[in-house]
A and B are shown apart, each in its own frame.
Chain A
Amino acid sequence: MGRVILHCDLNNFYASVECLYHPELKNKPVAVCGESELRHGIVLAKNQIAKSYGIQTGDVIWQALKKCPNLVILKPNFPLYIRFSKLVQQIYSEYTDLIEPFGIDECWLDVTESTKILGSGRKIAYEIKERIKTELGLTVSVGVSFNKVFAKLGSDYKKPDAVTVITKENFKQIVWPLPAKDLLYVGSATEKKLSSRAIYTIGDIAKSSPEYLKRILGKWGEVLWIFANGLDTTPVTPPLFEDNIKGIGNSITLPRDLTCYEDAEYVIRMLSESVAQRLRQQYLKCYTVQVWIRDSFLFSITRQEKLQTPTFLAREISQKAFEIFKKHWNFKNSIRSLGVRALDLVCANSFYQLEFDSLKKFKLEQLEKAIDQIRRRFGQSAVLPAILLTKSDLPCEIPLHNKIHPVAFFK
């Protein structure tokens, strides 16, 4: 017997939760948008009515208002969304212990074993869908299939409030006519490469030879061929272990554009403090520092460099990040968003070649650990680097947590 995998996708998640708490808005177009004063003013989620006006996630508020002048705009309430996300997962956990979240509003569930007690995948999917509707007031689309990739396609196939079953018998009829871009890991660049070779649908990918796809797309070509033919065997992995962290990063869109190196140094230091603190929390050090820069025209670059020795020191990470920044940015354009990321992580007590001034580094490590303790007891802003007191028009709090963690399909 093959596997039975469900992919559950909460429909218009943020907007649905808001509409649940504001029943008076039920028949109005609603969008949840970031705060425009902080220049986070884009559409994060919209309800079905707003969708019918052509409003898309990622639209800037003025664009959305142009499409629909009577759009109701709400500020996001992340703690509430996280609460609902947990409640949904509690329901899932009554059906299987193999649950893999994919963002805040999507999950894969491996119910292969549960089908022996609870009935077919389709039956479980309908039951979950109905329970989420009555108990939480939200709608969900569920894809049921024999692998994760098709289960996800299934949940996208019919929305909202629907169940789609893709079996070994019917996948050629359901999946193959879909456009190639619907397949996981086919982004706009891949789509262009494929369509220039007359590969337009998932079926076209499936019928191409894996060698040919590999020549066009590298190793991903083969992966896409496996996906398209329903041969993906990736298991549903519950996030039990923290040790598969591949990087710790933080980025921010600023309330005003950054126009000089002094501004950039300020923001890099702020982000590095957060990254370093989280590295220390996880007992990790990094070998590589990465900087992400997005300018006012929304053009972005990512650059990274290796360090001589692994570190969890904020001052070393920010020094390196600023060095990378100066090398790759000339301020022809001003900067809208900036990110710092620590990569190539190793356990904090792993061995490495010492340097002549290792004792100094050891003392600095003790110092930053002591700062962590002070921050834990008296708040994140109890101890700040002096540079963070120099600009009153830029944020100076050191964020300790990502609000929503991005996740990858391959772990």
Chain B
Amino acid sequence: MRKIFVEVYAHFSKEGEITPISFVWLDGKTYEIDKIIEKRNAASLKAGGQGIRYKILVRSKVLYLFCDENRWFVEFT
């Protein structure tokens, strides 16, 4: 399990809620987040870290995107 830090584009609502929209992957391409399946506080025991965990769907693949103190990373095997 690797911890890949990514650049994230997000929407900030008037209420202060942050919703990630897309992110830049290792290949330099920007990938849209098709769906946020779940959002919760969680620890990343395998990649190492803690924060708000977004369970996301990207091109029919389920990924875990973490926001750890304003730094975003993806758990990647």
Contact = CB atoms under 8 A, between A and B. Distances in A.
Nearest to B1: A23
A329 B41 CA distance: 54
A22 interface: yes
Quick one: which of B40, B45, B46, B49 has the most chain A CB within 10 A? B45
Contacts, number: 34
The A contact surface, by secondary structure, is helix
Contacts of A23: 1, 45-48
Q: How large is the interface on A (under 10, 10 to 19, 20 to 34, 35 or more residues)?
A: 10 to 19
The B contact surface, by secondary structure, is loop
Given A83-B69, A135-B40, A135-B41, A20 B46 contact: no
Interface residues of B, number: 13
Interface string A127-155: 00000011111100000000000000000
Contacts of B43: 20, 133-138
A284 B46 CA distance: 49
B24 interface: no
A410 interface: no
Interface in B33-77: 40-50, 69
Contacts of A134: 42-43
A167 to B, nearest CB: 32
Given A87-B50, A135-B40, A136-B41, 9 more contacts: A20-B45, A22-B48, A23-B45, A83-B69, A134-B42, A135-B43, A135-B50, A137-B44, A137-B45
Interface of B: 1, 40-50, 69
